[in-house]
Amino acid sequence: MIDRDQVLHVARLARLRLSDDEVERMTGELSEILEHVERMDELDLEGVEPTSHVVELQNVLREDVPRPSLPRERALEQAPDATEIGFRVPSPGGSGGS
């Protein structure tokens, strides 16, 4: 189960602006999904090691040599707002200036 306040908290963490209706709907849907997910509680998982990767790999290394990367103008060309040298964003805490 998840309540309305938790949904609002998680939405803030995820940087999603939800309307009141969406918070309402999301609370119901997430509760139903989490209820299904919580069936895992039926299992005895005492002492089981968690799996984070299914293929056994060790120390995937490469030579530490420089190689070409994307030129700056290519990296910037898909940005919604860019200057010649970087991405332009509004002030982090201010009222919309750049």
Partner 1 sequence: MSELVELTGAAQAERIRAGEVSGEEVFEFWRARAASDELGAYLWVAEDNPGGELPPVAVKDLFCVEGVPSAAGSRILEGYRPPYTATSVRKLRDGGAGVLGKTNQDEFAMGSSNENSAFRPVENPWDRTRVPGGSSGGSAAAVAAGTAPWAIGTDTGGSVRQPAALCGVVGLKPTYGAISRYGMIAFASSLDQCGPLTRDVTDAALLLGLMQGRDPCDSTSVGIPGGIDLPSAERLDGSRFGVWGLEEEGLDAGVAAACRATLGTIEELGGAVEEIELPHAGHGLSAYYVIAPAEASANLARYDGVRYGMRAGNGDLTSLYETTRHDGFGDEVQRRIMIGTYALSSGYYEAYYGKAQKVRTRIVEDFRAAFERVDFVVTPTSPTVAFKLGERTADPLAMYLSDYFTVPMPLAGIPAVSIPCGLHEGLPVGFQIAGPAFSETRMLDAAHALEQAIGFKGVPRG
87: which 2 tokens? 């991405």
Binding residues for partner 1 (CB under 8 A)? 2, 6-7, 9-11, 13-18, 22, 26, 29-30, 32-34, 36-43, 45, 48-55, 57, 60, 62, 70, 74-75, 77-81, 87, 89-96
Smallest gap from residue 55 Cβ to partner 1 (A) = 4
Closest CA to 72 of 53, 63, 85: 85
CB of 97 to partner 1, least distance (A): 9
Torsion angle of the four alpha carbons 68, 74, 75, 81, in this order, in degrees rounded to the nearest 10: 160
